[in-house]
Amino acid sequence: VFRVSRNGTLDHDVIGLEDEVADGRPLLDCVMKGGRRTSPPDDLTSVRERCSKSLEALPERLLALNTNGGGYEVTTSPGLKDLIDRFGSHTPPMGSS
């Protein structure tokens, strides 16, 4: 998953394949390996700062309580689109047996 910003404001996310490089900042980090943390947990001050910066980067329309302002765009990468086109969705809908 890659997050794309424009002028310091979040614009959209791109879901791609593990080996793809896409515009934006990669969001997924390895935090566990072999059942163990790969690094110590962040301290509470760092978590608060990261949360505050993330909220400041949200577009104004996403801060409103109503949903009339539109949602947040999430797209798929070219590689993922190709896989979907080639293989389609062979996964049954959730809740079906």
- 96 found inside a domain: no
In a domain, 58, yes or no: yes
Q: Would you say 14 and 72 are in contact if contact means Cβ atoms under 8 Å apart?
A: no
If one compares 96 and 56, the residue with the highest pLDDT of the two is: 56
pLDDT at 95: 62
Residue 15: is its pLDDT beyond 70? yes
Residue 28 belongs to a domain? yes
What is the number of structural domains in the chain?
A: 1
Q: Render pLDDT for 56-89 as a digit per residue (tens, 0 to 9).
A: 999 888 887 776 767 889 999 999 999 988 887 6
Residue 96 has pLDDT above 60, yes or no: no
Structural domain for 47, as ranges: 2-87
**Average pLDDT, integer, range 6-27:** 91
Residue 42 lies in a domain: yes
Q: Is residue 66 part of a domain?
A: yes
- HSE-CB of 1 using CA atoms within 13 angstroms: 9
